[in-house]
A = this chain, B = another copy of it.
């Protein structure tokens, strides 16, 4: 999947001394055709339905004494248009918004500086069988998920560092070594507000336990209210997930909730899901059921989502996939559509169906 680029000293005329390097160029190209059947149907070519299309550079240097330096520069790509997928403004060019870090690793674990996925996300989002992408992804851990980070983003440009609950900018991250299957990660994301750091910023932790067929994860997050004119209190979220691999099938489940006080009262969002994967032929069947709930000051919104997919491996690096998803919003409120707002609307009963077929190629 990932290649190292051999380091060859550029030798003008003399012999060929070879110096091994640790710079790795890697990426994923994933695109497919999506059809959405809703109030107004939509079809198109979409990028990153099975895995996010990306390009990255990374390296590790052995400093001796068990110490290693490393870096990662990874950016998302909208393969359908060639744009950078920055998670921010549209059409803004390729950026290393997926990960941009420099770190030191040793027996003590690893310390990294920069932007990356949060430890809380890493601990529990891994139980989403659709990998947080595509029509059938769980929205619990995805962008636009339970922590209402966009409100924060709009309120204060400096808080941009902490606007998604998937990734965190301006962060110091610590990841522990594995102790008897346990591993912990911690992020502190600076709010970078002059005079107001004690009231802004992000802090989160993820605890992972992996032992044979059993895997468990716990995520804890706090997005401080200081730089957030919408919220009147900190936004807190916690998530719990786990999986057990029975061999013929793997069963997974997850729960996440977040809450924040706003002017109208407490805004609480929660969701849970159960899922399974099973190897069938050269590929993998994936199925999941998600429930989303939004409770804002006395009224409730709910939605149910079903997903079913198959990933057929042509090689270790290349696969084709098909995914079906169905969503049904309840209680008269429309919490989610399957695609983005420009990709068609819900039917009048609050439901929508979608299908994606495509190809994933890792390099």
Contacts and interface: CB of A to CB of B under 8 A. Distances in A.
| From A47, A77, A89, A192, residue with most partner B Cβ within 10 Å | A192
Given A77-B96, A113-B45, A314-B67, A61 B4 contact: no
A137 to B, nearest CB: 20
| From A33, A172, A314, residue with most partner B Cβ within 10 Å | A314
Interface in A61-82: 61-64, 67, 69-71, 73, 75, 77-82
Contacts of A30: 102
A358 B111 CA distance: 11
A319 B362 CA distance: 33
Contact of A102 (B33, B79, B197, B344): B79
A79 B195 contact: no
A40 B195 contact: yes
A335 interface: no
A19 B113 CA distance: 32
A95 B359 CA distance: 22
Given A92-B91, A314-B63, A197 B113 contact: no
A190 B44 contact: yes
Number of copies: 3
A2 B21 CA distance: 9
Interface string A89-102: 10111111111111
A249 to B, nearest CB: 27
B158 A361 contact: no
A32 interface: yes
| From A5, A22, A344, residue with most partner B Cβ within 10 Å | A5
Contacts of A62: 12
Given A23-B25, A25-B23, A79-B100, A361 B71 contact: yes
Interface residues of A, number: 102
A160 B81 CA distance: 9
Interface stretch (A52-60, A121-129, A224-232, A257-265): A52-60
Contacts of A359: 69, 102-104, 113
List the 9 closest A-B pairs by CB distance, nearest first: A93-B93, A40-B195, A3-B7, A29-B71, A82-B100, A29-B102, A31-B113, A82-B96, A44-B192
Interface of A: 2-12, 19-25, 27, 29-33, 39-45, 47, 53, 55, 57, 59-64, 67, 69-71, 73, 75, 77-84, 86, 88-89, 91-104, 113-115, 158, 160-161, 169-172, 190, 192-197, 314-315, 317-318, 342-345, 358-361, 363
24 contacts: A3-B5, A4-B10, A12-B62, A22-B363, A25-B25, A29-B100, A29-B101, A40-B196, A42-B192, A42-B195, A44-B190, A44-B192, A53-B102, A55-B73, A69-B315, A69-B318, A79-B101, A81-B170, A82-B97, A82-B114, A83-B95, A91-B92, A93-B93, A102-B359
